Structure 1
Amino acid sequence: MTEDSRPLAAALTAFADEHPLPDAPAQQMFRTLLPDALMKATSRQADGTYFVATGDIPAMWLRDATFQVLPYVQLIKDVPDLKPILEGVLRRELAFVQLDPYANAFNQTANAAHWRDDDETNISVSPQVWERKFEIDTLCAPLLLVLRLHTETGDAALFDATFWETFAVILDIFEQEQHHEQSPYFFRRRDTAANDTLPNNGYGTPVAYTGLIWDGFRPSDNRCEYGYHIPANLFAKTVLKGLLPLIPANHQSLAARAQTLVTAIERGIAKYAIKTLPSGDQGLAYEVDGLGRTRFMDDANVPSLLSLPFLGAIAADDPIYLATKTFILSRQNPYYYQGEALAGIGSEHTPPEYVWPIAVAMAGLVAESKTEKA
């Protein structure tokens, strides 16, 4: 913590004191973590933007960064000093998207540090890119953050020329990956687990056109078994739809492109993603390929099927969602685990029978009743 950050830390601690939790140990944890989680993860850059370290790795995942700071957005009115930091995170995300929209994680500086130095992809990897796995949620992350910031502050200055330039880049990639067979992107990692690289010489398993956006890797950073990741597509549809009324008159070509994408995704979801679940009910698949193959499961990492109401992608009481939720919170989901102390969703990314806390927290966030939240 720097001298300059002490007033903000004090303000966050004061906020925690003014909003005590009923349980004393939980309140003490809240009081400690509210400032610490922000102060220890963020660092101001020379250009005024803020880098957000993901935690156990010295790199910034745009998806992780958005979700790390999202809880603080709703505190801006009470703690105004949060605003420049959160806007600085947004600006850093936009800069990284412009640097490489196919990358999922970035270094704080151009230090040429990479998860693997021998990854093969269609361009030379930037020295500021940590890893170049294409994930739809990477490009959705700054869009969600700007929408939440605008909702909280009403600040139209968020939507400056840089934002719309970056939005155009995002639309370019989404449109390109609706036709992945024409995309130059590939990712190959030698001598690794099968789920850490893309098959078919790095291009992924074959897909048919569906109107959906092709995705290389899940939010867990494991590869998509089938190329259309349904939670990520619904995430993309939601943030694009949210931006539509905010696109100014001088950028109506962007609005038209975004609306076309939204319509295509909605049609693709209706035609290819709503399936008969193993439970016998109609619900959402996790992945499809448009060729008839379907993956029924859910993974702890967000965007997930479980998280869709949290993302604003579907109503929590929607019958399709409720059937999907019942399925994924059962043993029929291959990554749902239940033990004496804990039950919840894990991931291919972690060992079997390990529940990931993200999924436990998300189950509480999307719960409709106090009994379910407990």
Structure 2
Amino acid sequence: MIALLIFLLLGSLTLRSNAVQEPWALRDASCPDYKSYSTRRHAPLSKGPLRLPFQRPVSECRTFRSEVVERVINDLKDKFADPDIARLFENCFPNTLDTTVRWHLPGRAPQSFVVTGDINAEWIRDSTNQLSPYLRLLKDDAQLRQLVLGAIHTQAEFLTYSPYCNAFQPPSQSRLKPSSNEQSDVVNPAYDPALVFECKYELDSLASFLDLANKYFEETGDASFVSKDPYFIEAIRNVVMVLDEQALTTYDDDGNDIRSRYTFQRQTNVGTETLSLRGAGNPTNGNTSLIRSAFRPSDDATILQFFIPANAFIAMQLQKAKKLFVAAGQSDLANDLYSRGETIEKAVWEHGVYEHKVFGKVFAYEVDGYGGIINMDDANLPSLLSLPLLGFVDPSNEVYQNTRQMLLSKKGNPYFLQGSDFAGIGGPHIGVRYAWPMSLLVLIRTSDDDAEIKSALELVKRTTGGLGLMHESVNVRHAGDYTRPWFAWCNSEFGKTILDLAARKPHLVFGEGAGAYSI
């Protein structure tokens, strides 16, 4: 009750534009730790055969509340033909708001710290994806708009400090304690561990920052934050700086090696947790116009540093940013970003496509510019399977369809895993026994085949371990064996997937003859 009163009081302050800014009340100290709460089943159970539990925290313990999000849940939960899908949507769609908004400061310059879930740090990529299901609702919810705008501001501040880093500590204003990743990394450029949780350079993190800003603008028409935010333009300049530095070749014209601006070394017995060649990673031919990425969105090290999904992602976001910066009165910057995006897009088609002896012309996962190719896909986004969701290709594109066939085949993708209980794409992060539900959610959103969609949705539904939430990965031979009982990013992906089907193929979730539902 105390938490609810505090919440209402602070919520009222956001309605007064000149009010003193106060942090959003998160929850009463008596609220249970959701990491523990998510491992237990809570009543009421769904009426479907899986009898899935209700896993939302009580209202007073939710870290952010949106009336519009609640309206969508109430609109849909009785429409679903399958009560278990209804319960999963009810649990998963609001999960980021319910559990991961550790700090929010509303006002003229809002701030939002959105953690990945069971780790008290913010990954730029994860937080963008976690918030993505709510972006279509921004016009109808001023407080939700403040939350997302705050996330943009906080990401910009992070990238102003260190554009090479991927995960960050709570802002000092939040008074939340920083945590340790328990590693002794040697990283160049150096960073302050009080500000940075981990500093793995991932090109997709920079694209994700642009993605959140671009989508906020697309949904609201508001470009004022570009000039109002004291960090945003500097963050964009830092993004451009990284793109320039990571497009350089490993060797100059005389054959001398050019030391990478970014290096990363970790003392570890796991090969994917550090970079070769004294932290620089394997050589690349910089005459390709592709951009290096030291790590993948799984936080695993790349083998060949021209990581194609991230290059496709950043290419699209740089081009999309033109509209945002033109609207903000930054035409020169808009044109520069657009030109860079066009150049990278052409480079992906030129250097990231090759002839597979079985599947024909396909996209490579990683290349080095010397002819080297890594042939695989990983469940984490961006992935090759997700290229249409990035706006890079139409799902009907022949090269994409060839690639898709390859990725969803044990003969074509070493990380396509299939067992008695589950099947999907995994990756080296967890190992060759565990596929990620996220990969099937991407499969659904990139498919027009009703049978394929229904099969994938049924698999996802049955792999929650009875907890009614999405996991990070699931043992394909024993669905009760999974990693992370609560993975907010994947919960958001489930919410997006159901909303996609509700609008695009309503008969698959609501029953034959049902009308489409769009938010």
- For this structure pair, what is the TM-score category when the shorter chain's length is used for normalisation? over 0.9
Residue among 303, 313, 319 paired with 2:392 = 313
What SS does the aligned partner of 1:300 have? coil
Aligned partners of 1:250 and 1:14: how far apart in 2?
36
Q: Give the superposition deviation at 1:40.
A: 1.0
Show the 5 A alignment for 1:264-275.
264-275=343-354
Contact kept, 8 Å, 2:185 with 2:264, in 1: the verdict is: yes
Residue identity opposite 1:367 in structure 2: S
Contact kept, 8 Å, 2:170 with 2:178, in 1: the verdict is: no
Aligned partners of 1:197 and 1:310: how far apart in 2?
30
Aligned partners of 2:86 and 2:418: how far apart in 1?
28
Contact kept, 8 Å, 1:90 with 1:145, in 2: the verdict is: yes
Contact kept, 8 Å, 2:217 with 2:324, in 1: the verdict is: no
Map of 1:228 onto structure 2:
306
Map of 1:189 onto structure 2:
266
Map of 2:378 onto structure 1:
299
Does residue 39 (structure 1) correspond to residue 116 (structure 2)? The answer is no
Show the 5 A alignment for 1:1-374.
3-4=7-8, 8-20=65-77, 21-46=80-105, 48-109=110-171, 113-126=179-192, 127-160=194-227, 162=229, 163-179=232-248, 181=250, 182=258, 183-209=260-286, 210-248=288-326, 251-331=330-410, 332-374=412-454
Q: Give the superposition deviation at 1:199.
A: 0.1
Aligned partners of 1:62 and 1:30: how far apart in 2?
24
In the superposition, relative to structure 1, how do residues 371 and 78 fare at CA in structure 2: closer, same or farther (>3 Å)? farther
Map of 2:32 onto structure 1:
none
Q: Give the superposition deviation at 1:77.
A: 3.5
What SS does the aligned partner of 1:44 have? strand
Instruction: Give the RMSD, CA atoms, in angstroms.
Output: 2.1
Residue identity opposite 1:125 in structure 2: Y
Structure 1 alignment gaps of length 5 or more: none
* Percent of residue pairs bearing the same amino acid type: 30
Bigger mean CA offset, 7-16 vs 219-228: 7-16
Aligned partners of 2:183 and 2:128: how far apart in 1?
27
Question: TM-score, length-normalised on structure 1?
Answer: 0.93
Residue identity opposite 1:17 in structure 2: N
| Number of equivalenced pairs | 374
* Bigger relative contact order (CA 8 A; separation at least 6): 2
What SS does the aligned partner of 1:130 have? strand
What SS does the aligned partner of 2:310 have? helix
Contact kept, 8 Å, 1:233 with 1:265, in 2: the verdict is: yes
What SS does the aligned partner of 1:67 have? helix
Question: TM-score, length-normalised on structure 2?
Answer: 0.68
Bigger mean CA offset, 298-307 vs 177-186: 177-186
Aligned partners of 2:86 and 2:114: how far apart in 1?
25
Bigger mean CA offset, 4-13 vs 113-122: 4-13
Residue identity opposite 1:203 in structure 2: A
